[in-house]
Copies of this chain bind each other. A is one copy, B any other.
């Protein structure tokens, strides 16, 4: 084994600017469209059922909500609990790890809310300049 084979660098050296670094996958996933909204919503509502969540996150299809929740569950950010009643009840909530993402993601959504008017204006200017 040479010095370049399978070397796992300490966490602090995980550099998302290097191709193939796992943190890049993670970054990509947590920044994705629906994940941001689902985490935000689970954060402010607490434990929450599928349909409730679907209504809260406007415009998400069943498929994408399921897919997003599965990925978040797999990544340890969301806990899925099945209550075997009749009819069956399933609740989703953030794990402790998921909770730590709320701050960063809220900063991002707040930025987009505060600055989307400026972005839209910039787009208009760009269109006027370039056609």
Q: Which residues of A contact B (CB under 8 A)?
A: 8, 11-12, 14-20, 22-28, 30-33, 36-37, 40-41, 56-59, 73-77, 97, 100-101, 103-105, 107-123, 125-126
Given contacts A11-B114, A33-B31, contact A97 B122 (CB under 8 A): yes
Q: How far is the CA of A107 from the CA of B108 in the complex (A)?
A: 9
Smallest CB separation, A118 vs chain B (Å): 6
Do B59 and A109 have beta carbons less than 8 Å apart?
no
Q: How many copies does the complex hold?
A: 2
- Please classify the interface of chain A as helix (H, G, I), strand (E, B), loop, or mixed, using the class held by over half of its residues: helix
| Cβ-defined partner of A104 (8 Å) among B24, B104, B119 | B104
Interfacial chain B residues near A11, Cβ < 8 Å: 113-114, 116-117
